[in-house]
């Protein structure tokens, strides 16, 4: 369990490097009365990501119950596919990221920012490859429901931590933090995709190596 948590924490930290949600959070903090909107946005992202992850884990777990004869090699095959896709996505991330621009909510009510966070999360969920890699490992561990809910909650707290940190910075420093937040935003725009590219490729290689090690009878994880 401790090694699994360490693995999930590392993947969640990678997953949290999301330039789009970070840019939206920075934008919300620059609007009048930003705290309620920012909290609502974070809640929308967290609840939706956690719920979607739980739904996938429960569905996959039910499949393994109904098909108890599934060999471990099948899960490692899925891991190999995820690893290869992560490697390819990381390799091509730069060009894809340069053509995208962070969308901002047209309206700024608390309810609208919540649903904007929720909708943006659902839109990105099919391509949330680090999360899918974490879910595959959770399914393989066969936790009970409450443990699964707790592990996913830990993952998602880490996932939204950069958004919480930005909000905390604003609460502590007030409007004096906006210049610092803008500087952070410029750094994220300049380096975020490059760092994410390297980390995605690194995770993909790690998953592929683990599958090769499994085939040789000595899995890493």
Of 188 and 115, the structure prediction assigns the larger pLDDT to: 115
Residue 182's nearest CA partner among 169, 199, 197, 201 is 169
Using DSSP's 3-state secondary structure scheme, residue 128 falls into coil
pLDDT of 96 above 50:
no
| Token code pair at residue 119 | 């909708």
pLDDT of 114 above 70:
yes
Q: How confident is the model at residue 149 (pLDDT cuts 50, 70, 90)?
A: very high
pLDDT of 80 above 90:
no
> How high is the mean pLDDT of the chain?
81
Percent of the chain past pLDDT 90, that is, above it, reads 23
| Token code pair at residue 130 | 């680090």
Q: Do residues 133 and 11 touch, judged by C-beta distance below 8 A? A: yes
pLDDT of 82 above 60:
yes
What tens digit of pLDDT does each residue of 151-208 get? 999 999 999 999 999 999 889 887 777 778 777 767 766 776 677 778 778 888 888 8
Q: Which residues contact 28 (CB under 8 A, 6 or more apart)?
A: 34, 37, 38, 41, 105, 108, 113
What's the whole-number mean pLDDT along residues 100-105? 54
Range name among 3-12, 14-23, 89-98 with the lowest pLDDT average: 89-98
Q: Do residues 116 and 25 touch, judged by C-beta distance below 8 A? A: no
- pLDDT score at 12: 92
How many whole angstroms separate alpha carbon 107 and alpha carbon 110?
9
Of 9 and 63, the structure prediction assigns the larger pLDDT to: 9
What tens digit of pLDDT does each residue of 25-72 get? 888 888 888 899 999 999 999 999 999 999 999 887 776 655 555 566
Identify the top-confidence range among 75-79, 119-123, 196-200: 119-123
Place of tokens 């608390």: 110
Handedness of CA 23, 50, 76, 143 (dihedral sign): positive
């Amino acid at each position: 369990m401790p090694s699994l948590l360490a693995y999930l924490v590392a993947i969640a930290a990678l997953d949290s490097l999301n330039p789009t949600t970070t840019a939206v959070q920075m934008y919300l903090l620059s609007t009048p009365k930003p705290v309620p909107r920012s909290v609502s946005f974070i809640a929308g992202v967290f609840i939706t990501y956690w719920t979607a992850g739980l739904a996938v884990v429960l569905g996959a777990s039910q499949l393994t119950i109904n098909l108890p004869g599934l060999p471990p090699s099948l899960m490692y095959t899925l891991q190999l596919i995820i690893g290869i896709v992560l490697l390819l996505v990381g390799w091509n991330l730069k060009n894809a990221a340069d053509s995208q621009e962070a969308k901002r909510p047209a309206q700024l009510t608390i309810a609208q920012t919540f649903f904007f966070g929720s909708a943006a999360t659902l839109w990105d969920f099919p391509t949330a490859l680090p999360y899918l890699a974490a879910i595959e490992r959770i399914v393989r561990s066969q936790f009970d429901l409450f443990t699964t809910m707790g592990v996913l909650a830990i993952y998602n707290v880490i996932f939204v931590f950069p958004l919480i940190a930005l909000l905390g910075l604003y609460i502590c420093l007030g409007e004096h933090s906006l210049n610092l937040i803008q500087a952070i935003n410029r750094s994220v725009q300049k380096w975020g995709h490059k760092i994410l590219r390297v980390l995605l490729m690194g995770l993909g290689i790690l998953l592929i190596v683990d599958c090769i090690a499994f085939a040789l009878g000595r899995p890493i994880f």
